[in-house]
Structure 1
Amino acid sequence: MKAVTRSGAGGPDVLSLGEAPDPVPGDGEVLIAVVAAGVNRADLLQRQGNYPPPKGASELLGLEVSGTIAGVGFGVDHWSVGDPCVALLAGGGYAELVAVPAGQVVAPPRGVDLVTAAGLIEVSATVVSNFDATSVRRGETVLVHGGAGGIGSFAIQYAHSIGARVIATAGSTDKVTYCLELGADAAMSYREDWVGEVSRLTENHGVDVILDVMGASYLEPNVASLAVGGRLIVIGLQGGRKGTLDLGRLMTIRGSVLSTTLRSRPVAEKSAICCRVTEVVWPLIGSGAIRPAPQTAFPLAEVAAAHRRLESGDNIGKVVLTV
């Protein structure tokens, strides 16, 4: 099969379209003929040599795909060849074929084409699992960093659908405007004094939940922006791995810091999250309460250009590869 291969760890030019063995579905797995694959920040890290796949997972990049069922392994009785689907992966999505545990495969949202659907499952699973873990509730204030990205644009809409007040940060005027169009109650540039603006918007009370993709560089200002009982969710390390945490401040506000990753979770956990996504997210997409993010699509052979686009920070929404 055609698949994206790496000549080593490094910049986008280490990626090229080559050949790889066809995967064979094992017990409890399905084989998917890939139509499109989402491009995520984790893929950039893996390309650079900083995010190896979990033990036993494919070495190929790609954490989410859409496509059709091309084969079923022993014990799978709820999928048939030709069925449209989307899947959450531990790796292997940048290819014509991928084998996936059947529990991590779901039907696409009704009325959504397969290319668009390729960019939905990873962001949905990430946001829903973390909002569930921190019990985001109606009436709370949620701060979303990187609101114009794939995860951020979904998180704004999902928090809004729950009944939360949403504040977002973004990197440009166009992106701030986009966050407001998605339903954010307020948005500002992270290049400005966003901590001061959050304080002003909350009348110095702070926010109840922060969804953060930056990590170390935002750790202190994030904790400073939490309300009493506030929860900080760290899901990315774009700003580094090691920061300073003011435990005194955290104890005073009875706050908490949760850091999570989706890729390395056991199959049973990821399968349960996928079920949760179909239960709560797909109906919201079907009703129009959540709009899929804009997509910038590249053919699989132009994978290096796709990575450059995501790395540039200029993109709004999702980047996808079409197969």
Structure 2
Amino acid sequence: MEKTNKIIVGISIGDINGIGIEVILKTFEDKRMLEFCTPVIFGSNKVISFHKKALNLNNSIHGIQSLDKIVHGKINLLNIWKEDVKVELGKITPDGGKYALKSLATAVDALKNNAINVLLTAPINKENIQSKEFNFPGHTEFLENELEGDSLMILMCEDLRIGLITGHVPVSKISELITPELIKNKVDIMHQSLKRDFSINKPKIAILGLNPHCGDKGVMGKEDDEIIRPTIAEIKKTGKMVFGPYAADGFFGSKTYEQFDGVLAMYHDQGLAPFKALSFGNGVNFTAGLNRIRTSPDHGTGFDIAGKNKANVESFKEALFSSLKIYRNRKENIELESNTLKSK
């Protein structure tokens, strides 16, 4: 592999029956994208060719058999299976999950071994990917198991970054999972990420309440007064600029979120529903807190439009550019921290 300063982006293809391959190929239709990075798709030439034909796309793909054969300036495809696989666009099939996992697992191994610099994941179906090797609610939990660190799912667009205190868990379990320890842990991860990955020296973090109107002094739940407020007060004593709890409806309705560098929501839909309403298809999912960088578009497999040439590539492009920016920021900040230590 030739030496270059270009960032190598490993790309898992997601469910082979969804829109993942479509957004990947359409992103790199513009050859100028290859000036920013070197993409490596983890998949199969036969599957990629099927999608190219179905979508009438003409991307020139450079097939490689090993990662030491990467060519910069080209769209590299690491062929990780040779068998014929039936692509059934728009359908949930066992093969859709099986080969999504094969692509993901191989890409994660490459990430762990520093063969790629960042990981960009196309959408999986959380039902058909379940197996002995993948018994997780989603990408985030799988990556936390494979990599070092504690994860925090952050959805972001422009200057809005929303992290989740609890992730892919049933609503019935949320209140029992909200503990001072969990809140402190997620605040620590977001605070560190805002500094290291986004180069914000003194991040301001807002924390949302759990109950409607933050419980209205116990009328609609006691967690906000008995757990969340005291925990925020404790965190403030460490010097971190954290504020809240805020009632989610008024917080987003009044655009209070614009005053903060990061927002922590108590549960999945509390954060993602307003985020997706505000992001207009340009959102990015970033897995913070781990020793490697992973981003993804904020949409799903899109089975209803798979193969119809209707998939919007903007979220995938934003995920790509975000991964490059985060990689550079993290590298620069790690170097600065290292030089500071050496000077003492």
Q: Same fold (TM over 0.5)?
A: no
> For the pair shown, which has the larger CA radius of gyration, 1 or 2?
2
What is the TM-score normalised by the length of structure 2?
0.30
Q: Which has the higher strand share?
A: 1
Higher normalized contact order (CA 8 Å, seq sep 6+, divided by chain length)? 2
TM-score, normalisation: structure 1: 0.32
Higher percent of residues as helix: 2
